[in-house]
Amino acid sequence: MQVRDAFSAVQAASYGTGLALLEAMKPRVWVDMIVGPHIDALYAKIYSRCIIEYANAFKSLSLVSMAEKFNLKSRYVSQSAVHVSEMMNLAQFTC
């Protein structure tokens, strides 16, 4: 049920809540023999997708407001935003 709540929160643009719920599940999921080895990559993709969805609604962004929305430190959000921006630019050239 917690997975459903997390994705419902993300769909409702409550990214901080949704990501916090997913983060709270990590210790239980890491012990899964099948899913465990892929958790970090999966979470990174979910997090990146949340940033993309959030950023698409704005012409310009404040990293401070993004950090508040995602319940994270500004430094971490800025690193993630740069990474997602690079990925979005690469996607434009490969399509």
Distance separating alpha carbons of residues 68 and 2, to the nearest angstrom: 22
Q: What is the mean pLDDT of residues 55-60?
A: 76
Tokens of 15: 């990214």
Query: The whole model's pTM is what?
Result: 0.71
pLDDT digits (tens, 9 = 90+) for 25-41: 988 888 888 988 999 99
Distance separating alpha carbons of residues 25 and 88, to the nearest angstrom: 28
Q: Percent of the chain, pLDDT > 70?
A: 87
- For residue 21, give the H/E element and its range: helix 15-30
Distance separating alpha carbons of residues 17 and 5, to the nearest angstrom: 9
Model confidence at 90: pLDDT above 60: no
Angle, alpha carbons 1-53-12 (nearest 5°) = 40
